[in-house]
Structure 1
Amino acid sequence: MRVEIWSDIACPWCYIGKARFEQGLAAFAHADEVEVVHRSFELDPDRKRGDTAPVIDMLARKYGRTLDEARAMEEHVAANARAEGLGYRTEGRDHGSTFDIHRLLHLARARGRQDALLNLAYRANFAEERSVFDPEVLVALGVEAGLDEAEVRGVLADHSAYAEEVRADEREAAALGATGVPFFVFDRRYGVSGGQPAEVFTQALEQAWRGRALTPVGPADAPDAAACGPDGACDVPA
């Protein structure tokens, strides 16, 4: 079985949803027969390279909130992350273009290191004092994930490298009806949106394995869960 996950490194619910999905996968009897593929989805595709801003400022602007209200929103997301055992800094993080990160993730997939790089990028962005919008940080993350430094630098220097692969993922997401991330597709038969609880992912895996969901990909019966939309804004449920 193949599970495809559309996500963006800037999306906190993708970070949380990945951890919850992995918990759900661990409880699935056929976990060793599941291939997981991570696909690209930019929350802010029009943002230019080098155009970064503090996350708190971005949230305040997107939601029309005060800075204190934006900080409270971040604290709520942080509590969800920490409940999954994830580190989460609520201050000092940047928001920017994730296009280069997605291109590197496609290189990492070609080299069998995609999940390793994604985990490192999430950790750097949400838990550590490293900006994933700094090219040198991306080089360091790529090397740490097991990629060749020269190849990583070559991809970052050539803005066309893996660009079409990123755009193809995004077109496919649109064709499947994904309007936010994370978005999980099970064997192209069953879709689950948002950072659902782990048990929802286990149920989705079991249902897809039995082949009972034969309708086109779309929202599952699971209730809506927190997700980030194409305008860069992320739901923060009470």
Structure 2
Amino acid sequence: MRIDVWSDILCPFCHLGRRHLELALEQFEHRDEVGVVWHSFQLDRTAEPVDDAPVIDRIATKYGVPREQMVAQHEQMARDAASVGLDFQWETLRGGNSYDAHRLIHFARTLGLEEPLTQRLMTAWYSEGEAIGDQDTLVRLAVEAGLEADAVRALLASDEHGIDVRTDLALASQIGITSVPTFVLDQKYGVTGAQPVEVLLSSIRQVWDLQGTEPEPVAEAGGCGGGCCGGVCGSDRGEAADGTEAAEAPVADPARA
């Protein structure tokens, strides 16, 4: 079975969702027969490489949400993260643009280093207050993950693997993905948000049993149209890379498991 996941490094729910998927698969009886493919997603494709404005204030202002509400939400996310072994330092988060980081991940995939690089980048942003849109920072983190500095600098000086990022974004738009994390199980069934481990595990087991049958609903997505709420981070727009409106998703409409 294949699991496709759309995720952005600059999305705290994506970090939690990734960890929940890892824990769910550890409990899945057929783990060795599951392949996970990670896809790029950008919550804000027009952002500057680095934005040092407090993330809480920026989100609260952008979506007209009281700052106290955003603080409470991030404090809850920190507790949820700690319960599964993650360290979410939300007060040190630095905004920016994740395009170069996604290109770098695609490059690392060709070298067999996708997992260590992704983990290093995610930890740097999620726990260490690093600006992953800064190219010097990306070079340092990539070297720590096992990549060669000169190769990383050459990549960042070009648009190499940009087509891979844009392809992921276009595919997300084509199937109607506007918020992350989004998990597509067996290329048919959509599950959105940082769902609890037990929900993901139940969904994976259902899809495993349904292989070869007609699509049926799996799990309800919890989310919103913009900002971060309900377990997902939403993009500002549901349009493809070329600016066209997103097509209706062929994945199954989610329903409560």
Q: CA deviation at 1:221?
A: 2.9
The answer on 1:220 being equivalent to 2:218 is: yes
Partner of 2:194: 195
Aligned-pair CA distance for 1:69? 4.2
Give, in angstroms, the shift of residue 114 of structure 1: 1.4
Contact 2:27 2:201 in 1 (8 A): yes
Shift, 1:207, TM fit: 2.3
Q: Following the alignment from structure 1 to structure 2, what is the Cα–Cα distance between the partners of residues 126 and 213?
A: 40
The residue number in structure 2 matching 1:119 is 119
Give the partner amino acid of 2:231.
A
* Cα RMSD after superposing both structures: 2.0
Shift of 1:61: 1.2
Please report the TM-score for the alignment, with normalisation by the length of structure 2: 0.82
Q: TM-score scaled to structure 1, two decimals?
A: 0.88
Kindly provide the amino acid, as one letter, of the partner of residue 226 in structure 1. G
- The CA deviation at 1:213 is 5.8
- 8 Å contact kept, 1:193–1:220: no
Question: Could you say what secondary structure the match of 2:109 adopts?
Answer: helix
Percent identity for Structure 1 against Structure 2: 39
Query: Whose relative contact order is higher, 1 or 2, with alpha carbons under 8 Å and at least 6 apart?
Result: 1
Tell me the SS of whatever aligns to 1:166. Answer: helix
Gaps of 5+ in 1: 233-238
Q: Aligned residue for 1:48? A: 48
Kindly state the Cα deviation for residue 90 of structure 1 after the two structures are TM-superposed: 2.4
Looking at structure 2, the residues matched to 221 and 57 of structure 1 have their Cα atoms a distance apart, in angstroms, of: 32
Partner of 1:236: none
Aligned residues: 229
Task: Report the secondary structure of 1:221's partner residue.
Answer: coil
* Corresponding position of 2:86: 86
Aligned to 1:235: none
Unmatched runs of 5 consecutive residues or more in structure 2 = 223-229, 238-257
Distance 2:82 2:143 in 1: 27
Secondary structure, in 3 states, of the residue corresponding to 2:183? strand
Q: Report the Cα distance in structure 1 between the residues aligned to 2:92 and 2:145, rounded to whole angstroms.
A: 24
Task: Give the drift of 1:73.
Answer: 2.9
- Closer/same/farther in 2, CA of residues 213 and 193 from structure 1, 3 Å limit: farther
Q: Give, in whole Å, the separation in 1 of the partners of 2:33 and 2:154.
A: 34
Contact 2:50/2:94 (<8 A) preserved = no
User: Aligned partners of 2:214 and 2:150: how far apart in 1?
Assistant: 45
Paired residues for 1:89-168 under 5 Å = 89-158=89-158, 160-168=159-167
Q: Structure 1 residue runs of 4+, over 4 Å off? A: 66-69
C-alpha distance 222-64 of structure 1, shift in aligned 2 (>3 A): closer
Of 128-137 and 38-47, deviating more is 128-137
